[in-house]
Amino acid sequence: MSRRLSLDDYEAGVRAGDRAVLGRAITLVESRRHDDQRLAQALLGRLLPHTGGARRVGITGVPGVGKSTFIERLGVWLADEKQKRIAVLAVDPTSRVSGGSILGDKSRMNQLAQHPHAFIRPSPSATSLGGVARRTRETMLLCEAAGFDVVLVETVGVGQSETMVAEMVDFFLLLMLPGAGDELQGIKRGIIEMADVIAVNKADGDNLARAREAKRSYGAALRYLKPRSPSWHPQAMLVSGLTGDGLPELWAQVEAHREALGHEVEARRRTQLEGWMWSLVEEELLRAFREHDEVGAVIDATTEAVREGQLAPTAAAQTLLEAFGVKPTLD
Ligand SMILES: Nc1nc2c(ncn2[C@@H]2O[C@H](COP(=O)(O)OP(=O)(O)OP(=O)(O)O)[C@@H](O)[C@H]2O)c(=O)[nH]1
Ligand SMILES: [Mg+2]
């Protein structure tokens, strides 16, 4: 095992873009141990002034839409053609102790994984989505302090996770499948409202006609929505992660969005910092609650009584909160 690093070692290593140290710093951020968390928060405090330099892009879409293929192609293109340094992170609410399933198979991003200008990190495992989101946010900051120009955050568009990702990035990309008509009904309207661009993926070969049709219907849907920002009207476009078609145009949209929003991006990021603070408070409060001796003394019996239908959840919550020393306002 390598030796323990000091706070200075972590700071210097991350700032120098040392991948091994960056990887260990991320492990620290993901750790549930008290001393690791203290060190992680001290490190983030030191690095914060060196963050904020990356384009933060969230990418979502249903399983099989082609996210991994697309991110690989986009990442390699950005690295080779635009001389960017790319970090790829994932938010996977289903990932438990064993690590994420998204990006779990780095084999799907083989080329990017081996690229000297890319860094790929699977989803942190955590007990709560909030915990995953908080860790991903912090990992993003570590990557920025390490000098990455672009952070791509992948998430499956099936639950709450895409909302959380949308809240931690500057630009939110929704990938869709060709042949929309029906699919338009399957996807939650809320996700369409969060998108800064809807890209119909797999617009290649035999799919092309259906992809164009899909682009038309999403384009029409977007025109009916009130945009999130008066400065940006989301469009629908065609891409193919397989052939790379449409990627330069897509990236041009990311740059144009940045240009159009100007100071709004900074305002958005400030709001996000505040969200990060609250998510830390929530997580720590919950931890303190679970580790509280008097709560611990009654929690099993109380939970069991609720499960058995012998105690109302409201009364049970009241008991637990009182054990914790909070006077509940439930009635
Ligand atoms: N024709 C075509 N097929 C694609 C394209 N991108 C991905 N595929 C295929 O679609 C399937 C799913 O691709 P992935 O990149 O693994 O999709 P994903 O969205 O990451 O899937 P999950 O990780 O399971 O959510 C694979 O068989 C790919 O070969 C594309 O641009 N065109
Ligand atoms: Mg994938």
What is the per-residue pLDDT for 98? 46
**27 with 62, same domain?**
no
- Report if residue 164 sits inside a domain: yes
**32 with 145, same domain?**
no
**18 with 122, same domain?**
no
List the one residue out of 130, 126, 134, 172 whose CA is nearest residue 153.
Answer: 172
CA distance 128 to 275: 16
| Arithmetic mean of pLDDT, 288-300 | 94
CA 67 to ligand 2 centroid distance, Å: 5
- Report if residue 270 sits inside a domain: no
CA 73 to ligand 1 centroid distance, Å: 11
Q: Between the CA atoms of 290, 292, 295 and 301, what dihedral angle is there, to the nearest 10 degrees?
A: 60
199 lines ligand 1 (CB under 6 A): no
According to DSSP, residue 241 is labeled T
67 lines ligand 1 (CB under 6 A): yes
Tokens at residue 174, please?
């929704």
What is the per-residue pLDDT for 92? 80
CB distance 211 to 238 below 8 Å: yes
| Arithmetic mean of pLDDT, 8-28 | 96
CA 85 to ligand 1 centroid distance, Å: 24
CA distance 134 to 282: 11
What is the per-residue pLDDT for 124? 81
CATH number at 44 reads 1.20.5.170
Distance of alpha carbon 267 from the chain centroid = 19
What is the per-residue pLDDT for 99? 45
- Report if residue 62 sits inside a domain: yes
CA 154 to ligand 2 centroid distance, Å: 8
According to DSSP, residue 204 is labeled S
CATH number at 187 reads 3.40.50.300
**112 with 26, same domain?**
no
The domain tally of the chain equals: 3
Amino acid in the structure at residue 261: L
60 beta partners: 155, 174
| Arithmetic mean of pLDDT, 282-310 | 92
Does residue 182 carry a pLDDT above 60? no
Nearest CA to ligand 1 atom 13: 66
**62 with 45, same domain?**
no
Residue, of 322 and 162, whose pLDDT is higher: 322
Where is average pLDDT lowest: 36-40, 89-93, 123-127, 176-180? 123-127
CB distance 270 to 98 below 8 Å: no
**78 with 215, same domain?**
yes
- Report if residue 271 sits inside a domain: no
What is the per-residue pLDDT for 282? 84
Residue, of 8 and 190, whose pLDDT is higher: 8
Mean of pLDDT over the chain: 89
- Report if residue 29 sits inside a domain: yes
**177 with 38, same domain?**
no
Of 261, 286, 309, the residue that ends a domain is 261
138 beta partners: none
Tokens at residue 14, please?
């991350």
> Model confidence at 3, in pLDDT bands (50, 70, 90)?
confident
Integer CA distances (angstroms), 214 to 200, 207, 238, in order: 7, 10, 9
65 lines ligand 1 (CB under 6 A): yes
Where helices occur in the chain by DSSP H, the ranges are 7-15, 19-30, 34-47, 67-81, 110-113, 129-145, 161-166, 180-186, 189-194, 208-224, 247-261, 263-291, 293-307, 313-324
Ligand with smallest separation from the Cα of 206: 1
- Report if residue 244 sits inside a domain: yes
Nearest CA to ligand 1 atom 7: 66
CA distance 150 to 143: 9
**68 with 29, same domain?**
no
- Report if residue 100 sits inside a domain: yes
List the one residue out of 162, 192, 165 whose CA is nearest residue 180.
Answer: 192
CA distance 91 to 248: 25
Measure the CA angle with vertex 172, ends 107 and 206; round to 5°.
60
66 lines ligand 1 (CB under 6 A): yes
Q: Which domain holds residue 298?
A: 276-324
**111 with 245, same domain?**
yes
68 lines ligand 1 (CB under 6 A): yes
Residue, of 62 and 95, whose pLDDT is higher: 62
3-state class (DSSP) for residue 227: coil
Amino acid in the structure at residue 56: R
> Model confidence at 102, in pLDDT bands (50, 70, 90)?
low
- Report if residue 266 sits inside a domain: no
**286 with 312, same domain?**
yes
Percent of the chain clearing pLDDT 90 (strictly above):
63
**220 with 312, same domain?**
no
> Model confidence at 184, in pLDDT bands (50, 70, 90)?
low
Which residues are CB-neighbours of 98 under 8 A, at least 6 positions away? 125
> Model confidence at 119, in pLDDT bands (50, 70, 90)?
very high
CB distance 227 to 234 below 8 Å: yes
> Model confidence at 221, in pLDDT bands (50, 70, 90)?
confident
pTM: 0.87
Residue, of 230 and 152, whose pLDDT is higher: 152
What is the per-residue pLDDT for 100? 45
What is the per-residue pLDDT for 275? 82
**193 with 168, same domain?**
yes
CA 260 to ligand 2 centroid distance, Å: 30
- How confident is the model over 32-87, as pLDDT tens digits? 888 999 999 999 999 999 999 999 999 999 888 999 999 999 999 999 999 999 99
